[in-house]
Amino acid sequence: MRIDTSQIYIKLLLLILILIFISQQIMYILVYIKIYNAYDKIFFISAVFIMIALFILMISPIEVILTSLPMFLYSVSYLIYLYAHVANILYTDILSTIFLLMIISIYGLYRFRRKLKIRSFSNIFVVLSRIFYYIKDEPGHLLITEGLILLLLSSADILLNYITGKIFFTKPENLLGALIDGIFITFIRNRKIIFTSVFSWSFTPLLYYVSSTHIHTRPRLYREIFKEKSVVIDDVVVDKQANLMINVSTDLSPHMLVIGSTGTGKTVLSKKISRSLVKNNIPVIIFDLHNEYKDLGFKRLDPRDITGIMINDIYSNRDSLNEFIDVIRASFKLGALQTAYLQDLLTRYVEERRSIQKLPEYLEEEIKRQEDPEAQRVLRSLHMYLKLLFSEISEIKSDVSWRLDEPVTIDLSSVGRNNFLTDIYVYYFIRYIWRSARERGFTRNLNQMIIIDEAHNILRGKIHELLSTIFREGRKFGLGLIVISQQISDEMSEYINNIGKIIIFRIVDMKTIEILQKILDDENISRDLLRLRELEFYYIDLTGERQIFRGKILRI
């Protein structure tokens, strides 16, 4: 009996590659457990399923291996590309393995072309149809069918992600339907409609999602099913090899404080965090004081868009009116007498249901009616402030022109140098976001991230009080907060107990260094911070036992 040694060598090489891939899967599980110190049953079962499928390939005929393994490995690598926490560790190895297997498959098909009755490889559809017809065993045919379905769906996903930045086919019922359809076709032996089946299941979800207001980007499904705990930030490493990660599970604090002098890399880091979060279907709301985030391509909002909600609140109830007066008092630094007059004036004005835009005119009439010189002086000072404020509200917008499930940049540079107006707009925007988060209720996933750049310019008064509340309670409502500043103020030091991570770039402000020395209990940190170069930072993890690592942004 003659033995075909070429088949033995090919299968031996394939077995070695499969064993390598299985060992990679085991390493992947171990890395997962090491990073998160957790055992995920669903994740483990899915990995075991992959290993079982690979074992079936190992004992299958050579034709089944040659035909199905490249498609299967491609699909597995696609899933890792979508969902893996450590994709950058495995993806290169997997791609090289797939490339080698493709070459082996082409060689094998050429070697067995007589057995498969293939005369020419010019028509790929003829080649595939002959291969499908030749394979009689159900497991092999099932494996090929499922591999082909996953290959087509994943290829379409990657293409659409490249073009539109979104993934359309990861909705569970659609993917499951395609796989069940493939199993059904396998057992009724109607192999001619395999392609029709795949594409019927592919285009149905596409038509559904085009008309839908909620489009899931790629790892949203994984986070919901497998309880993913972090999002990898591209091009940012800590401890020389691991990517920076943001907590997206509310089991740990998602809040972050970023400190550093001008030009050290704070905004670069903020943009990379924003892109990674949005890619993972977590909406980001950026407060941009100096128009530095326009290149992100997010929807840009005028801060005046909040005026409709602000005015509606004033007229809704007495508490909201008192809150508005308190914001005005803090923003304009009004004295007790001015605040008392403002309280009386606005209360009467709102009770009469007059238009808020005509408040300065109403105040002018009030000044004329007053005979007391002191009262006139106070009212004139109020008139100056209120005229400045309400001249900005030339058109009251009835609602915020954006949805909470999309990334936006609030362009505060359009307000100019009016710090008091900036304070008022920022306060009411954040208040609206916070109120909406509470209305959604408790959650175990991060649903939204607020990023405030140049926060040292606005962290005062009512804004400080509101941010303190979000730092304490935002996590349980799925709301995260990243505060970026050139120095740490006394107000910021109050946030530390509720922050998960601190990132410190080079700092030259001695007061900030002194505060950090107290927080970190490290007298030598001043020397280390002064030695940092551009794009280098110290990463401090406060979610468990305090850990400090050196980090760097790899590219801008």
Across the chain, what does the average pLDDT equal? 68
d(CA 437, CA 460): 23
d(CA 79, CA 47): 11
Among the residue ranges 9-23, 210-224, 372-386, 473-487, the one predicted with the least confidence is 210-224
Among the residue ranges 20-24, 34-38, 359-363, 367-371, the one predicted with the least confidence is 34-38
d(CA 84, CA 535): 26
d(CA 79, CA 77): 5
Q: Which helix (H) or strand (E) is 219 found in, with range?
A: none
Name which of 152, 247, 256 is nearest 197 in CA terms: 152
State pLDDT tens for residues 346-373. Answer: 888 777 777 766 777 777 887 888 777 8
Name which of 66, 89, 71 is nearest 13 in CA terms: 66
Among the residue ranges 154-158, 439-443, 465-469, 540-544, the one predicted with the least confidence is 154-158
pLDDT at 202: 38
Cα separations in angstroms, 464 against 91, 350, 503: 44, 27, 20
Q: Which residue has the higher pLDDT, 398 or 358?
A: 358
Cβ atoms of 449 and 284 within 8 Å: the answer is: yes
Name which of 134, 124, 167, 169 is nearest 150 in CA terms: 169
- Across-strand partners of 106? none
pLDDT over threshold 90, residue 87: no
Strand, helix or coil for residue 252: coil
Name which of 80, 81, 91 is nearest 43 in CA terms: 80
DSSP for residue 496? G
State pLDDT tens for residues 125-157. Answer: 555 555 555 444 555 555 555 555 555 665 665
Q: Which helix (H) or strand (E) is 436 found in, with range?
A: helix 419-440
Burial of 361 (0-12, 13-18, 19+ CB in 10 A): middle
Question: How many percent of the chain have pLDDT more than 90?
Answer: 9
pLDDT at 84: 42
Cβ atoms of 505 and 475 within 8 Å: the answer is: no
214: left (phi over 0), alpha (psi -120 to 50) or beta: beta
pLDDT at 214: 29
Q: Which helix (H) or strand (E) is 537 found in, with range?
A: strand 536-541
Q: Which residue has the higher pLDDT, 407 or 107?
A: 407
Q: Please tell me the number of Cα atoms within 13 Å of 524 on its side-chain side.
A: 1
The CA-based dihedral angle spanning residues 470, 475, 478, 484, taken in that order and rounded to the nearest 10 degrees: 60
Q: What is the largest CA-CA distance in the chain?
A: 121
Strand, helix or coil for residue 365: helix
> What are φ and ψ of residue 199, in 5° steps?
-75, -30
State pLDDT tens for residues 272-324. Answer: 999 888 888 888 999 998 889 988 888 888 877 777 777 777 777 778 888 88
Question: How many percent of the chain have pLDDT more than 70?
Answer: 54
Confidence label for 57 from pLDDT (cuts 50, 70 and 90): low
State pLDDT tens for residues 180-212. Answer: 555 555 555 444 444 444 443 333 333 233 222
Q: Which two tokens stand for residue 70?
A: 């490249």
β-strands 242-247, 479-485: how paired?
Answer: unpaired
* DSSP H stretches of helix in 121-265: 124-134, 138-164, 172-188, 194-210, 220-226
Domains of the chain, CATH where assigned: 5-220 (no CATH), 230-298+407-553 (3.40.50.300), 307-390 (no CATH)
pTM (2 d.p.):
0.58
Strand, helix or coil for residue 336: helix
231's CB contacts (< 8 A; 6+ apart) are 219, 245, 246, 248, 276, 277, 280, 282
